[in-house]
Amino acid sequence: MNQTRVFLSLIIFVAFACSPGKMAMKKGNKRFNTGEYDLSIDYYNKAIANDHLVGEANFKIGESYRLSNRIKEALPYYEVAVEKGYNPEESKLYYAIALKNNEKYQEAKRVLDQLTDAELKGEIKDLTDQEMENLIKLEEIINKKSYFEVKNLDLINTPAAEYAAYYYNGELYFTSSRDGGKIYKATGTPFTKIYKVKTKGAIVDTTTVMQLPSYINSENTNDGTIAISPDGSTMIFAKGNSGRKKGSEDVDLYISRFRRNQWTEPTIMRVNDPKAWDSTPAFTQDGNSLIFASNRKGGFGGTDLYIATINRRGRFGRVQNLGPEINTAGNEMFPHVGEDGSIYFASNGHPGLGGLDIFKVTRESGKLNVENLGSPVNSSSDDFAMFLYTIDKGFFSSNRESGAGDDDIYTFRNEDPNLKIVNYFLVGTTVTNTEEGEKILPGTVVKLQARSDSTILSEKLSDRDGQFRFRVYPEEDYFLIAEKTDYLTSRSTFSTVGKTIPKDQLTQLVTNKIFETKVALDQIVIDKAIVVENIYYDLDKWDIREDAAQELDKLVTMLEDNPEIKIELSSHTDSRQTADYNLDLSKKRAQSAVDYIVSQGIDPDRLVARGYGESELLISDEEINELPTPEARERAHQRNRRTEFKILEFDPSKSIKEEDEEDEIDELELVETEEDKKDLESKIDWDN
């Protein structure tokens, strides 16, 4: 009898363990964890049908829709998960977001109110706070006056996805899943490919639609979101989501060059993070920098916008986050840089109507202003991938319900009567002073730094003629930092404050204002004396006066900018006292200057104080006595009473000019012939 009970219990246990609901849930989780969201939904629905873990299964369906960019469809599933009490914090947060995406704004706020009363931590707290703040600002966005006219580009859209339009040289490039083929398991739709079509503005010739070559578009891989450099020589695009890896971490940026009338085989870029999603590239207007989206570690949450700039070796340099004014706990992606330097991007983190909204970033007085473009450009759906081919015309993408199906490409025209822009540019020349006079210094790295917060806004390499050019912004102060191997890094100032052109004085749609400057660097020469101007002391004193401190601060900055040097700081006197007295006074003054510099944070081991008294007069007493006036004689004595520095040691290993090549891509790897290589080297290797 006991054996029978044990046997029956075993049968019941096995039957429960192998129940259809449990098996479906297990298979659904497996698909979910590998990013096959469309397949996971089917299994979770089977689990629900068998009344197995209904709350969890509904939440996972909601997540599957959200993570495959179909959050509107997730709404009823999050609602059930909330009712069942499953994972209450995340369920309520994403339920509120889904409500917002379905234009149920008041209901979304009610759900978020429940969450804000809870003790939230980490990412959930950041997203909840962000969503609540965004809903509070919603009315302002809804009531925003708009001058945009929007139209579906129905000649090119199909029931499949078409998005990320990019216009270049009479051709419109775009991403689409239109041609069928193997299904991408995350969304249940075909893999995307890159297409192009001949067009004049928004007038497309549909007979010319074609895929880019197969070596650009890979089989069973999503390819898309293309960017082409302004000179047409370089193409960058995203490739990934093959379904072979967990989640979406296999999306990377690839680069190709236009050679002999065709694109070269694409090469993966080193700006990628191998463990992150890197996509949606955009060139700046000068082609020297690349902005893209990434969910790499160290960001502000979700996907952030990053920038990489071509450095002195012609390579995309270290990747930098664009900062918290642009990036949020949500997702920022699909950047585009307009002709006036404004950055357009899509975000679901900034205050918006739901899903991704399109925003515009402008800079003035050292501050960034992030503006929601409002309706009709934005909607409660995903609106993204803004691209302007003129100041007032362009394209964007949206999955709004009025479209042909899935994502569509839309055209727009901005009818704002005050749409006039000014481009401010700073054009400069890098030089060095030699015994023969001023000499052009090509191949110098010049950085534009905002004085307000020390942010490096841009970095350029001066050309063969020592020329460089920066876009600058209204009412802002800058430092220009110039660096070159074997030269002292120099720092000069520039400002646009008070130089902004009033809008009511503009007569054209686009006005360009050019400023000019010159940046001088001194070659590093051991034991060569350099006079520090305007260092004065009171009679028979060695205390650092306020005016002297201001000049010594410049020396502090020079030492900070040039950590590879050790200097001697020397003081000289005139001859109008005894030699011993002058020697003692000069030593005290030199030491006082060194002590001040050390007090500003400079390592004392990098400084040597030395007083020379009257032993190294620039103008002899005989020459001074021959001068015709007392004023002239006093000026001569003043030249003798000088402070100088000279470089004692130079250690290149401590130089901040050294660059880390591990984080850069070598453009020379992309060329195919020796002729191509020499051509490219002639453009970038100024030091050779």
For 343-360, how does the pLDDT look when each residue is reduced to its tens digit (9 = 90+)?
999 999 999 998 999 999
> Average pLDDT of 568-584?
92
pLDDT attached to residue 285 = 93
Q: Give phi and psi for 57, each to the nearest 5.
A: -60, -40
pLDDT the model gives residue 241: 60
How far apart are the two ends of the chain, measured CA to CA in Å?
94
Q: Which of 396, 410, 643 is nearest to 537 (CA)?
A: 643
pLDDT given at position 395? 97
| Letter string b/e over residues 470-500, b meaning 16 or more CB atoms within 10 A of that residue's CB | bbbbbebebbbbbbbeebbbbbeebebeeeb
In angstroms, the CA 513 to CA 491 distance is 24
| Distance of alpha carbon 609 from alpha carbon 595, whole angstroms | 9
Partner residues linked to 321 by β-bridges: 306
Average pLDDT over every residue of 601-621: 93
CATH class held by domain 21-136: mainly alpha
- Report d(CA 515, CA 519) in Å as an integer: 13
CATH number of 421-521: 2.60.40.10
Q: How confident is the model at residue 478 (pLDDT cuts 50, 70, 90)?
A: very high
DSSP character at residue 541: -
Give the separation between CA 290 and CA 335, rounded to whole angstroms: 10
- Give the pLDDT score at 250: 72
| Strand 565-572 to 607-613 pairing | parallel
CB atoms within 10 A of CB 93: 22
- Reported as a pLDDT band with limits 50, 70 and 90, residue 242 is low
pLDDT, residue 119, reads 73
Question: 């306020």: which residue's tokens?
Answer: 546
- Give me the pLDDT at residue 245, please: 45
451 pLDDT higher than 70: yes
Run of H or E residues at 687? none
Q: Tell me phi and psi for residue 657, to 5 degrees.
A: -80, -15
pLDDT tens figures, 642-661: 888 899 999 888 776 644 43
3-state secondary structure 91-113: HHHHHHHHHHHCCCHHHHHHHHH
pLDDT of 17: 54
Number of H helices, E strands in the chain: 14, 36
Whole-angstrom distance, CA of residue 162 vs CA of residue 409: 6
State how far the Cα of 575 lies from the Cα of 620, in Å rounded to an integer: 9
Q: Where are the alpha helices (DSSP H) in 376-461?
A: none
Asked if domains 21-136 and 156-414 share a fold, the reply is no
Q: How confident is the model at residue 668 (pLDDT cuts 50, 70, 90)?
A: very low
* Higher pLDDT, residue 341 or 242: 341
Q: Which residues of 57-84 are buried (b: 16+ CB within 10 A; e: fewer)?
A: bbbbbbbbbbbbbbbbbbbebbbbbbeb
Distance CA 662, CA 650 (A): 26
> What confidence tens digit (pLDDT) does each residue in 24-70 have?
999 999 999 988 998 999 999 999 999 999 999 999 999 999 998 88
Which helix H or strand E contains 311, and what residues bound it? Answer: none
CB 221 within 8 A of CB 190: no
- Indicate the pLDDT class of residue 670, thresholds 50, 70 and 90: very low
**pLDDT, mean of residues 225-252:** 79
Distance CA 10, CA 474 (A): 79
- With a cut of 80, say whether residue 12 has pLDDT above it: no
What residues have CB less than 8 Å from 243, skipping those under 6 apart?
Answer: 34, 35, 36, 184, 185, 186, 220
Check residue 4 and give its pLDDT. 52
Q: What is the pLDDT of residue 41?
A: 94
Torsion, CA 287, CA 290, CA 292, CA 297, rounded to 10: -170
- Domain spanning 156-414: CATH 1.10.630.10: no
Residue 281's H or E segment, with its range, is strand 278-283
Question: Taking 90 as the threshold, does the pLDDT of residue 187 lie above it?
Answer: no
Domain 530-654 has CATH 3.30.750.210: no
pLDDT digits (tens, 9 = 90+) for 129-178: 888 888 988 989 999 999 999 999 999 999 999 999 999 999 999 999 99
pLDDT, tens only, 578-604: 999 999 999 999 999 999 999 999 999
Decide if pLDDT at 7 tops 70.
no
Residue 305 has pLDDT above 50, yes or no: yes
Tell me the mean pLDDT in the region 514-529: 93
List all residues 6 or more positions away from 225 whose beta carbon is below 8 Å from its beta carbon.
164, 175, 237, 238, 279, 280, 281, 334, 385
pLDDT for res 189: 86
Identify the pLDDT of residue 53. Answer: 93
Give the residue, 193 or 123, on which the prediction is more confident: 193
- Let me know the angle formed at the C-alpha of 572 by 486 and 546, rounded to the nearest 5 degrees: 85
* Contact indicator for 217, 211 with CB cutoff of 8 Å: yes
pLDDT computed for residue 547 by the predictor: 79
Residue 519: CA atoms inside 13 Å, Cβ hemisphere, count?
A: 35
Rounded CA gap, 79 and 94, in Å? 9
Output Rg (C-alpha) for the chain, integer angstroms: 32
Can you name the residues that pair with 70 across neighbouring β-strands?
A: none
d(CA 305, CA 67): 19
Domain ranges of the chain: 21-136, 156-414, 421-521, 530-654
> The dihedral of CA 128, 129, 131, 136: what is its sign?
positive
